[in-house]
Amino acid sequence: MSGLSEILLQLAVGIVPIGVAYLAFRSATDANKKTQQTALLQAERQAELERTKVDADAYVRAKTIYEDALTQMEKQVARVQSQANQFSSDLATEQSGATAMRDQIRQLQAQIRALERTVNALRNQLLAAGLAPAPASDVTGPYTLGQPPRQRTSE
C-alpha cells in the first residue's frame, strides 16, 4: 500500500497546484474582466468628458455669437430711435413752419380782399367824379371821360 499511498500523495500534491493554478487562472480572468470593465467605464467617462468639452466650446461660441448679435441689434435699435427722434423733431419743425405759412397766406388773402375792396371803391369814386380808370396796360391815368389822353409836346 505504500505505492498506492505514494500515488495518492503525489496525486494530492499534483491536484493542489492544479487547484491553485485554477484559482489563479480564475482570479486572473475575473481581474481581467474587471480591468476591462474599468477600462470601458473610463473610456466612456473620457468620451463623455470630451462630449462635454465639445458642448461647452459650442456653447461658448454660440453665446459669443448671440451676444455679438444682441449688441449689433441694440446699436441698430439705438440708431433707429435716434433717426425716429430726428424725424419727429424735423416733422415738428415742418409743421410749425407750415402753420406759420398758412397764417401768412391767410393774412395776405385778407389783405388782397381789402385791396380789392379799396380798388373797387376808388374805381367807383373815379367813375362818380367823371374820370375813367386807367386801362390795365397803361398805369399813367387817370383820364377824363370824353377827352383823349394828353399828348406830350416836345419843346
pLDDT value for 79: 95
Place of cell 410749425: 96
End-to-end CA distance of the chain: 193
The pLDDT-based confidence of 10 (bands split at 50, 70, 90) is confident
pLDDT of residue 16: 78
**pTM to 2 decimals?**
0.44
pLDDT per position as a tens digit, 22-53: 888 888 898 889 999 999 999 999 999 999 99
Residue 144 pLDDT level (bands cut at 50, 70, 90): low
Q: Is the peptide bond prior to 17 cis by the omega test (within 30 degrees of 0)?
A: no
The pLDDT of residue 155 is 43
- Distances from the Cα of 1 to the Cαs of 11, 15, 19, 52, 55, in angstroms? 15, 20, 26, 74, 78
Quote the longest CA-to-CA distance of the chain. Answer: 193
Q: Average pLDDT over the chain, rounded to whole?
A: 85
Convert the pLDDT of each residue in 97-106 to its tens digit. Answer: 999 999 999 9
- The proportion of the chain whose per-residue pLDDT surpasses 70, expressed as a percent, equals 85
Name which of 137, 132, 136 is nearest 149 in CA terms.
132
